Amino acid sequence: MKLILLKDVKNQGRKGEVIDVSDGYARNYLIPRGLAVEASSSIMNDLKNKEAAKRHHDDEEKKKAGELAAFLSEKVIVIELTSGGDGKLYGSVTAKEIADKLESDFNITLDKRKIVLDKPIKAFGDYTLDVKLYPEVVGKLHVTVKGK
């Protein structure tokens, strides 16, 4: 019997896959528990439409992420901090501060976890950071830290 899985089933497949199982397993276990439905032509057509819509949505998200990456690579974030007499920073610059500055300067809301910062910035200078905008889209962000 051909079924479409509604949820992931161990040793059978993932959600949305079409599988072929014995009639008894389908009628006594998978269908009563809401794990699968019989693969009729209307349900198969609906599944194809949902997959096409999901692919279209993912393509749009990837396109927007690419545009944002291009925009960010052209901009420079300037962060001004106070320093001690020896030219070292009081504290450090974190990803949260960079995300806040990005929102205040360019009105772009970006999650701080998307900014790749191995360790906090503790010195003046220019830095180029990676920003993970989408699984396959990584943008560059230029940050300049200078004293007041």
* pLDDT for residue 88: 74
Q: What is the pLDDT of residue 118?
A: 86
pLDDT value for 89: 80
Fold of 71-147: Ribosomal Protein L9; domain 2 (3.10.430)
Class of domain 2-62: alpha beta
Which residues of the chain are modeled with pLDDT < 50? none
pLDDT at 81: 85
Residue 29: what pLDDT?
A: 95
Domain boundaries, the chain: 2-62, 71-147
Report field, pTM of the whole predicted structure over 0.85? no
pLDDT at 91: 81
Contact at 8 Å (CB) between 102 and 142? no
Could you tell me where the DSSP H helices lie in the chain? 23-25, 41-74, 95-106
Return the CA Rg of the chain.
Answer: 25
Q: Note the pLDDT tens digit of each residue in 87-98.
A: 678 788 899 999
Q: How far apart are CA 113 and CA 96, in angstroms?
A: 8
